[in-house]
Structure 1
């Protein structure tokens, strides 16, 4: 099963309102569960996968785990309200967004901070793994688009950066 197929399955589950799905083939076992008290929104579904695809015999389902172990921040140009060019730092995965490594430390970046390419800007927790998200561009943080400890979707804009 490809990563895109798993992502499509999770989207389908969130739109139908199902709380739990188990899929088992000879190559993999997949268990997706979301909390029953969570509301499902058509525009931004909120789901919480609890167990990753696990191979039964051979590592056939390895692509399902690859995005978690190899996080990256994507960028796409979009004009800002001020007319200047900006670049979005987007979430490479579904998970929980954290602005700092723990509640007692300051955020990695705030509005007005200068960031350099490769600098950690946030952490996304996915399936009990904490993934540092790095900036793909050097510039100044113009806007933080997500609240701390909020769920994020794949390709959701996290930060807006004005490049140097």
Structure 2
């Protein structure tokens, strides 16, 4: 079992509400436990999703009845040409390696594949998240030292 499969299994356990999962293979055994009340579910590991994708065209998620009574708001900027960098795991988002050091990237910075964008701490492991695209940082969507979910948008990047 490789690290990607283990991360997928951890995501599955945290989202499904399962209290404990044990897997045993030839020379490998893993048990993942949570502090939640037991819930019994039988399911497979979810398929991996791509970490980068183009941002969807802005669409209203407000129900029609509420939208009719809501005050008119200025149109949202078109983000369809931006690339959304998403979190590959659940953890705590950090913009720098320590509070005293400068941020890895800021709005307006040009990035290329391999550029470290942030760190996500998961289970006391600090994972550097590197860019897989070239472009310019347009917006940082997560707050420093805040928890992030799997597949949560972290950055908007304008391709160059």
Q: Same fold (TM over 0.5)?
A: yes
Counterpart position of 1:112:
108
DSSP-derived class of the 2:14 partner: helix
Cα distance in 2 between the residues matched to 1:10 and 1:109: 29
Greater share of strand: 1
Is 1:159 aligned with 2:152? no
Report the secondary structure of 1:85's partner residue. Answer: coil
Contact 2:92 2:148 in 1 (8 A): yes
How far does residue 30 in structure 1 lie from its aligned partner after superposition? 1.8
RMSD, aligned CA? 2.8
Counterpart in the other structure of 1:13:
17
Aligned counterparts of 1:146 and 1:25: Cα–Cα separation in 2 = 34
Change over 3 Å in CA distance of 1:24–1:136 after alignment to 2: closer
Task: Tell me how many residue pairs correspond in the alignment.
Answer: 122
Distance in 2 (CA, whole Å) between partners of 1:149 and 1:33 is 23
SS in 1 for 2:83: strand
Specify which of 29, 32, 39 is matched with residue 31 of structure 2.
29
Q: Return the match for 2:52 from 75, 89, 93.
A: 75
Larger radius of gyration: 2
How does 1:66-145 map onto structure 2 within 5 Å? 74-78=51-55, 79=57, 81-82=77-78, 85-145=81-141
TM-score scaled by length of structure 2: 0.65
* Structure 1 unaligned regions, length at least 5: 15-20, 35-62, 68-72
Per the alignment, in what secondary structure is the counterpart of residue 107 of structure 2?
coil
Assess if the C-alpha contact under 8 Å between 1:74 and 1:136 holds in 2. Answer: no
Change over 3 Å in CA distance of 1:5–1:106 after alignment to 2 = closer
Aligned-pair CA distance for 1:31? 1.6
TM, length-normalised to structure 1: 0.64
CA distance in 2, matches of 1:124, 1:109: 14
